[in-house]
A and B are shown apart, each in its own frame.
Chain A
Amino acid sequence: MTADHPRPPPRRRFFALGRNELKGLFWQVLVVGIAVGVIAFLWSNTVTNLSARRITTGFAFLGREAGMPIADSLLAYNPRDTYLWAFVVGIANTLRVAVIGIVLATVLGTLIGISRLSANWLLSRLAAVYVETLRDIPLLLQLLFWYVLMQALPAARAAWRPVEGVFLSNRGLILPAIPFGPPQLWVLGTAVLGLAVFYIIRRWLIAQQMRDGKPRPAWPFALGLIVAAPAAVSLVLGVSWTIEWPQLRGFNFVGGLTLAPEYFALLIALVTYTSAFIAEIVRSGIQSVPRGQWDAANALGLRRSFMLRQIILPQALRVIVPPMTSQYLNLTKNSSLAVAIGYQDVVSVANTTLNQTGQAIEAIALIMAVFLTISLSISFFMNWYNARIALVER
C-alpha cells in the first residue's frame, strides 16, 4: 500500500459546535445571564436607596472619628480614633480570642478524646457525657450561660481566690503576670530563633540517621538552643522576671493580667464547645490506626513513648488533621458570637459602625474580607501541614 499523506486532522471551525456543546453553551449563558441580571437588579436598587438616604458609598468614612467605646482591647484605643483604627482593634480582639481559643481547645479536646479511650470506665464515661452534652446545646446558649455566671460572681472585694494571686470576680479573671517589654522580647526572640535553628539541626540529624542508621541524640541541641541561649541573653541584658501580683485597691484590682468577663466567658464557651468536637476527632483518629500497627511495634520491642511518637501518632494525625482544620475555622467564625455579650470583636465593631454611619455594604464587605483572609490563612497552613504528614505512597 502506498504511503498516503497523513490526513490532516479535521479542522474545528468555531461555529461547528456539537449538539452537546451547544446545549452546554445555552445553559451557561442562561445561568450567567440570570446571575448577572439579579446582581444588576439588586445593585441598581441599592444605588437608588443609598442616594435616597444620602449615604455616599466608599471607604472614606474609615478616616472619620469613630466615637465608639471599646472597653477591652489589646491595642491602645480611644473613642477619638478613626474607624479604621477601631476595625484594627476589633480584628486584634478577634485574633486574640481565636488564637488562644484554638490552642486551648486543641489541648483540652485531645485530653478528652484520649480519656474517652481510657480503660478506666469512669473516666471514659465522664468524657463521653462531656462530649454529648456540649455538642448538643447551641453555642450561643452556652455563651449566654457562662456570661450570666460571670456576672453572678461576687464583687471585687469579695473575689474568690482559688490560688494565691488569682482572683475571680465580676470584674473577670485576674492573674499574676510578668510585665512584658522590649528586654523580655529579646529573650523570647532568642528562644524562637533557637527553636528554628534546632528544627533545622534535627532534620539534619534525622537525615544522617537515615544514611547510616546510627541514632544521634537531639536533646543536647534543644537544651543549648532553646534553654541555655535565652537564659544567657537574659543574664547578659539583666532582664528582670519579677512577677507582678494583682492587688485590690478600692473597688478594682491593680497590676497583673485582667481577662474581662466578656472575654473570659467567650473564651470558655468557645474552648469547651470546640473541644467536644475535637475530642471526637482525636478519638476516631487514634481508633483508625489498625491493631496490627500496635502489635508490630510491640513485637519489635519498641519503647512505649517511641512507639506512640513514631508509629501511632503519625498515622492518627493523617485522619485527624483535615477535620481539625474545619474545627479551627469554625471556632474562628464562632468567635463572632461575641456581639451577643458585648465583647468587641471585628463583627461587633462593624455592627456599631453600620449603625452609626449607615455604611452597610462597606461594613459587611470588611467583615467578609477579614474572615475570608483568616479562613484562607488557616486552610493554607493546615493544607501545608497535611501535605507534610500525608502518606507518601511509593
Chain B
Amino acid sequence: MTAITDIPDAPRAARRPQTGNPVLRWLRKNLFSSIPNGILSIVLLAILAKGIYSFVQWGLANAVWLTPANDSSACRAVRGVGACWAIIPEKYRFILFGTYPFDEQWRPALAVLLFIALYYLSTRRALWRRELIYLWIGALALISVLMWGGVFGLSFVSQDRWGGLPVTLILATFGLAFGFPLGILVALGRRSKLPAIRSLSVLYVELIRGVPLVSLLFMASVMFPLFMPSGFNIDKLLRAQIAIILFAGAYLAEVIRGGLQAVPRGQYEAADALGLSYWRKHRLIVLPQAIRHVIPPLVNTFIAFFKDTSLVLIIGIFDLLTTAKTAIIDPAWQQFSVEVYIFVAAIYFVFCFAMSRYSRSLEAHTASR
C-alpha cells in the first residue's frame, strides 16, 4: 500500500502545469499522480468493475421482480444466479407492520410518517424553542392513540400485535424522550458536590456502560417479573422499553457531562451572583449552553441507539429486524433471506445516514462560527 505517502497535507514533490483537457487533468491528478498510484487505480477499477458487473447480473439482469401470490417457483428457478426481489412485494406488509390487523395498517403507517415529521421538525434550528417540547409531547400522544386505538372509533390493538418499523421507531424515540431527561439528571448528579448523589450517579453510569445491552435486555425479560410483586406483570415491549431508557440514560449522561464541563466557570459564578437557585441556574444558564456544545455527539449517540434497538430481537420482540427474520421462516421463501436483509438494511441505512449527514452539517455550522 502506498497510501501513507499520499496524505493530503504532505507536500508534493512537483506541481505539473495546468494545461490540457480538464478531464485528463482530473484523471492525472486524482488517479494517476504517480506510477504506484496508477497501478493501484487500475487494480481498484478492475475489482470495482467486476463487483458491479456481478451485482448487476445478480440484482438486476437475472432478478425476479414479481411472482403470483405465494408462489416462489420462479424465484427457485434463478436461485444462485439472480435475486428474488419478488419476496419484498410478497412480504413487505408483514416486514413493515408485523401482525398488526391488516385492515388497520394505515394507522402504524401514519404513525411512521408522524415520527418522520417529528424528526424533521426537530432538526430545524428555527424551532429550537420551548414549544418543541410541547410538540414532542403532542406527537407522541397522538402516535400512542393511533397505535393503541380504543378511542375516536378506532378499534383497540394491544401491544403484542404491534410489529415492524413502528416498534423500532417507538423503542428508539421513547427511549430518547425519557432517556434524555434521565441523562441530564444523572449528569448533574455526577458533577454534584454531594458525595452520596455523586457516587450513586457514578455507580449507575458505570454499571450500565460496563455490561452489554443484551444482558440488560435479558434482565428486563427474565428478571423483571421476579422483581415485581406476584400477580403484577407488565408487557414485554414495555419492559424492553424500560431497559432501553435506562441504557440510553447512562450513555446520554456521559455526553451531557462533557457539555457541562465545557461551560466556562464564569457562567456558573455569574448565575450564583444573580442569586439563582440550583435548578434555575442550570435550567436557564448552564444547560442550554452545555447541550448546544454537544449536539453533534448527541446525534451520534441517537444513531447508535437507533441501531441498538434491533437487539430486542434476542428477547423476541417484533421490531423491524425480527419481522424480517420471521418473514423468511416461511418454507417457500426460506432461501431468499439475503434479499430481505438487504431491504431492511436499506431502511435502517436511510434513517441513520440522514442523521449522520445532519450531524455533519451541524459540526460544519459550529466550526464556521
Contact = CB atoms under 8 A, between A and B. Distances in A.
B194 interface: yes
Contact of A294 (B9, B219, B335): B9
Interface stretch (A6-14, A143-151, A177-185): A143-151
B66 interface: no
Contacts of A111: 1, 3
A140 B311 contact: yes
B234 interface: no
Contact of B321 (A52, A141, A287, A291): A141
B310 A140 contact: yes
Interface stretch (A73-81, A115-123, A222-230, A385-393): A115-123
B55 interface: no
Contacts of A49: 225-226, 230
Interface string B229-251: 11000000000000000000000
A201 B218 CA distance: 51
A309 B32 CA distance: 27
A126 B229 CA distance: 56
A135 B196 contact: no
Main secondary structure of the interface of A (DSSP, over half): helix
Contact of A114 (B3, B212, B228): B3
Nearest to A122: B44
B4 A364 contact: no
Given A46-B227, A123-B44, A333 B307 contact: no
A308 B8 CA distance: 14
A78 to B, nearest CB: 26
Interface in B262-291: none
B345 A137 contact: yes
A360 B226 contact: yes
A371 B197 CA distance: 25
Given A141-B341, A334-B212, A118 B6 contact: yes
B334 to A, nearest CB: 10
A132 interface: yes
B327 interface: no
Contacts of B1: 111, 114-115
Given A137-B345, A138-B308, A351-B218, A118 B194 contact: no
Interface in A294-313: 294-295, 298, 304, 308
B193 A24 contact: yes
A144 B194 contact: no
A126 B48 contact: yes
Interface string B115-135: 000000000000000000000
A32 B196 contact: yes
A45 B338 contact: no
A192 interface: no
Interface in B315-354: 321, 325, 335, 337-338, 341, 344-345, 348-349, 352-353
Contacts of A126: 44, 48
Contact of B11 (A32, A298, A375): A298
Interface stretch (B16-24, B33-41, B90-98, B136-144): B33-41
Given A141-B310, A371-B212, A372-B210, 18 more contacts: A28-B195, A118-B3, A120-B31, A122-B41, A126-B48, A133-B349, A138-B310, A140-B313, A145-B338, A287-B9, A333-B212, A334-B212, A336-B215, A339-B214, A347-B215, A354-B218, A364-B219, A371-B215
Interface of B: 1, 3-11, 30-31, 33, 37, 40-41, 44-45, 48, 193-197, 200, 207, 209-215, 218-219, 222-223, 225-230, 303, 307-308, 310-311, 313-314, 321, 325, 335, 337-338, 341, 344-345, 348-349, 352-353, 356
The list of the 10 closest CB pairs from A to B, nearest first, reads A121-B30, A136-B352, A119-B6, A138-B307, A336-B212, A333-B212, A28-B196, A138-B310, A336-B214, A372-B210
